[in-house]
């Protein structure tokens, strides 16, 4: 473990450690000038509005027009600042629309447009600065389709319908009358017997007596079968199987009826032929051909149902396993847009999302999505751009990577680690962070209390910032780090200084720094910081909803964003 002393590498933090600061999605030029006063040589421009995705305000990056883009580029070039861009976080690379939980061409088009707008924004600034491969950070998802605690809900992907199903625990009422059966143990016995009679021996054993001793349900004292989410999924499959059986039985009845009609028509044709009744014969023949077509169609439907029944076990895939594959397609498509439609070819850096309830929030899943995306992008470059496979793989590795957010991983502490049965620990967080591995190109440093993504200055929460940083250094991953620390008392400037104090930079001394004058004029922070988090005051839960004091006059700390997404900048996009 590195000793953080006065003689450490943080003596010159912005040069030796490649530290930078994130500036907000409003008043970017004003924020930029404040960051420059701190000595930072890396700055992340945030256009990550929650009101993006082509709403009334248009695409998020479009709110910064040509004049603003040129001003940002000139300021960065003049001060030799390395820029990156944070794109809107309300994006699902998977193409699955969060509300319907299904793939939608309209939603995919909106997402692709937002991605393109962010990349074009970075390209405009890059061309003015004369640089290549500016990092553009995208959250891997913005859904609520993950299930960090599978005892509460289980998310699965329906391969047939192309949508996510979220399955909670389920109660099965078996009609055991408590007034007639007063003994709880007898009620349980009767309930289990009735369950077996209704659903069969094999399903009964799967729920209560499976070989892995992993019970999928139990019987309550009042005689109900309570299935946990995984058991409810098996029950869903059981019902689906019964539905398919009923459909096949219905088809069999229809086929038998058609066979009876076919027999009658053949007899009718024979009679018409014997009577030389050509008109009757031809009419009956047409009816017979229609019957034969119907039989053919029903037999085809019957075969499809049999295939569906056979594949039922593979139809529903845990979404945590499916999400990386689906997201990789969108990531590769974004990389191809960057390669083909921009001059500077910005990087696509995928960030683990801010809540464990979002898919791909586990860095291991984010890394898997990036791995697959790199392979798909390289393959497309090789086959369609006629590049050598080696060159295609190099370009793919250069353009696609991970931006690891440590604060986001720390929120896992509010959940139980299924491997240990205990809340996630600092050690768990470090191990998850290390999964970013060779895909890591940048990371975000911020703190919280393990309950929500509050962007506190480093050291004001319980995230294992130093431990993760050391683990990365030990793996040889000395990559740039952006401090997203605008969530504490004093806003951005105070947050940056407090964070460097925590990391041991002697330039800033040991006295806690809070710049109240700058704080009172800081419209980016709420009175107690981003998301109105009280975590830095020692309280576990927020006392205000999302947005906190954003409605208060900016001079006293309000105005983080309004509900219409208004920006302080306006103007037409660069053309």
Determine the Cα–Cα distance for residues 158 and 383; give it in Å rounded to an integer: 31
Report CA Rg, the chain. 30
Q: Is residue 231 part of a domain?
A: no
Q: What is the pLDDT of residues 231-244, one digit of tens each?
A: 999 999 999 999 99
CA distance 558 to 456: 17
* In a domain? residue 268: no
pLDDT at 347 over 90: yes
What is the pLDDT averaged over residues 163-186? Answer: 90
Instruction: Determine the distance from the C-alpha atom of residue 341 to the mean position of all C-alpha atoms in its chain, rounded to a whole number.
Output: 26
Residue 359 in this model has a pLDDT that exceeds 60: yes
Structural domain containing residue 324: 9-144+317-556
Q: What is the pLDDT of residue 542?
A: 34
CATH of the domain at 87: 3.20.20.150
Please check whether residue 192 lies inside any domain of the structure: no
pLDDT of amino acid 558: 31
Say yes or no to pLDDT of 555 above 50.
no
Q: Which DSSP category does 12 fall into? A: S
Q: Which residue has the higher pLDDT, 537 or 293?
A: 293
- Dihedral sign for Cα 116, 486, 354, 51, please: negative
pLDDT exceeds cutoff 90 at 31: no
Q: Which residues of 28-41 are buried (b: 16+ CB within 10 A; e: fewer)?
A: beebbebbbebebb
Q: Find the mean pLDDT for residues 64-86.
A: 88
Alpha carbons 64 and 25: distance in angstroms, whole number: 10
Residue with more model confidence, 214 or 112: 112
Mean pLDDT of 138-167: 91
Task: Check whether 261 has a pLDDT greater than 90.
Answer: yes
Q: What's the pLDDT band for 25 if we cut at 50, 70, 90?
A: low
Please give the angle made by the CA atoms of 44, 50 and 51, to the nearest 5 degrees.
120
What is the mean pLDDT of the segment spanning 336-344? 97
pLDDT at 362 over 90: yes
- Please give the backbone phi and psi of residue 508, each rounded to the nearest 5 degrees, phi first: -100, 5
CB 349 within 8 A of CB 401: yes
Q: What pLDDT score was predicted for residue 478?
A: 80
Q: How many domains does the chain have?
A: 1
Q: Which residue has tokens 């240990």?
A: 420
Indicate the angle between helix axes 389-399 and 363-384, nearest 10 degrees.
140
| pLDDT category of residue 115 using cuts at 50, 70 and 90 | very high
pTM for the model stands at 0.80
Distance CA 485, CA 300 (A): 61
Please provide the average confidence, as pLDDT, over all residues in the chain: 81
Q: What is the 3-state secondary structure (H, E, C) of 349-399?
A: EEECCCCCCCCCCCHHHHHHHHHHHHHHHHHHHHHHCCCCHHHHHHHHHHH
Residues 369/360, Cβ–Cβ less than 8 Å = yes
* Residue 509 structure tokens: 């001394």
pLDDT digits (tens, 9 = 90+) for 414-451: 999 988 889 999 999 999 999 998 899 998 989 999 98
Lowest mean per-residue pLDDT among 122-131, 397-406, 453-462, 490-499: 490-499
What is the predicted pLDDT for the residue at 120? 94
Residue 310, in any domain of the structure: no
Confidence label for 508 from pLDDT (cuts 50, 70 and 90): low
pLDDT band at 506 (very low <50, low <70, confident <90, very high): low
The pLDDT of residue 296 is above 50: yes
The pLDDT assigned to 393 comes to 97
pLDDT at 452 over 50: yes
In a domain, 233, yes or no: no
Tokens of 490: 């004093």
Q: Is residue 166 part of a domain?
A: no
Which range among 180-184, 376-380, 404-408, 513-517 shows the weakest confidence by mean pLDDT? 513-517
Report d(CA 522, CA 492) in Å as an integer: 8
Helix (H) or strand (E) segment spanning residue 518:
helix 516-520
Answer whether residue 239 is part of any domain: no
Q: Which pLDDT value is given to residue 479?
A: 84
Taking a C-beta distance cutoff of 8 angstroms, is the pair 121, 334 a contact? Answer: no
138-142, 188-192, 508-512, range with the lowest pLDDT: 508-512
| 150-178 mean pLDDT | 91
Residue pair 543/557 in contact by the 8 Å Cβ criterion = no
pLDDT at 409 over 90: yes
CA dist 546 and 533 (Å) reads 9
Tokens of 95: 């193409």
- Is residue 127 domain-resident? yes
DSSP H or E stretch at residue 263: helix 229-274
CA dist., res. 470 & res. 2, Å (int): 7
Rounded distance between C-alpha atoms, residue 35 and residue 52, angstroms: 25
Query: Residue 331: phi, psi to the nearest 5?
Result: -65, -45
């Amino acid at each position: 473990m590195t000793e953080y002393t006065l003689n450490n590498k943080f003596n010159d933090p912005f040069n030796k450690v490649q530290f930078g600061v994130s500036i907000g999605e409003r008043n970017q030029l004003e924020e930029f000038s404040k960051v420059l006063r701190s000595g930072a040589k890396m700055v992340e421009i945030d256009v990550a509005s929650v009101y993006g995705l082509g709403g009334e305000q248009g695409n998020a990056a479009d709110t910064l027009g040509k004049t603003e883009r040129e001003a940002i580029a000139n300021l960065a070039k003049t001060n030799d600042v390395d820029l990156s861009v944070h794109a809107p976080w309300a994006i699902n690379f998977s193409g699955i629309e969060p509300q319907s939980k299904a793939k939608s061409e309209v939603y995919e088009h909106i997402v692709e447009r937002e991605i393109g707008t962010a990349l074009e924004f970075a390209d405009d600034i890059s061309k003015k600065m004369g640089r290549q491969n500016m990092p553009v950070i995208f959250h891997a998802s913005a859904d609520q389709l993950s299930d960090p605690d599978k005892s509460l809900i289980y998310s699965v992907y329906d391969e047939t319908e192309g949508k996510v199903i979220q399955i909670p625990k389920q109660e099965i009422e078996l009609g055991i009358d408590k007034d007639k059966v007063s003994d709880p143990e007898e009620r349980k016995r009767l309930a289990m017997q009735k369950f077996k009679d209704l659903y069969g021996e094999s399903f009964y054993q799967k729920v209560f007596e499976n070989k892995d001793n992993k019970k999928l349900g139990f019987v309550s004292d009042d005689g109900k079968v309570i299935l946990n989410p995984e058991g409810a999924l098996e029950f869903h499959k059981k019902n689906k199987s019964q539905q398919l059986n009923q459909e096949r039985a219905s088809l069999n009845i229809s086929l038998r009826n058609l066979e009876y009609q076919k027999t009658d028509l053949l007899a009718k044709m024979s009679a018409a032929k014997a009577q030389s009744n050509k008109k009757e014969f031809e009419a009956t023949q047409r009816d017979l051909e229609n019957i034969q077509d119907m039989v053919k169609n029903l037999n085809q439907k019957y075969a499809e149902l049999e295939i569906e029944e056979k594949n039922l076990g593979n139809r529903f895939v845990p979404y945590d396993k499916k999400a990386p594959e689906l997201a990789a397609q969108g990531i590769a498509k974004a990389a191809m847009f960057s390669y083909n439609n921009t001059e500077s070819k910005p990087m696509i850096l995928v960030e683990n999302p801010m809540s464990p309830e979002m898919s791909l929030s586990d860095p291991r899943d984010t890394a898997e999505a990036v791995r697959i995306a790199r392979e798909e992008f390289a393959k497309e470059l090789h086959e369609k751009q006629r590049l050598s496979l080696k060159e295609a793989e190099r370009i793919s590795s250069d353009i696609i990577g991970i931006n690891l957010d440590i604060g986001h991983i720390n929120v896992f502490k509010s959940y139980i680690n299924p491997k240990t049965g205990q809340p996630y620990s600092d050690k768990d967080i470090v191990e998850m962070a290390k999964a970013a591995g060779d895909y890591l190109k940048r990371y975000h440093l911020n703190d919280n209390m393990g309950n929500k993504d509050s962007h506190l200055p480093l050291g004001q929460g319980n995230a294992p910032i130093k431990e993760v940083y050391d683990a990365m250094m030990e793996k040889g991953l000395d990559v740039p780090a952006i401090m997203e620390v605008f969530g504490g008392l004093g806003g951005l400037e105070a947050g940056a200084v407090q964070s460097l104090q925590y990391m041991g930079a002697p330039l800033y001394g040991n006295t806690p720094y809070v710049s109240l004058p700058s704080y009172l004029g800081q419209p980016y922070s709420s009175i107690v910081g981003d998301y109105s988090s009280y975590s830095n005051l020692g309280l576990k839960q927020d006392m205000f909803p999302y947005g906190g004091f954003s409605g208060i006059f900016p001079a006293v700390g309000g105005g983080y964003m309004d509900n219409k997404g208004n920006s302080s900048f306006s103007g037409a996009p660069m053309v």
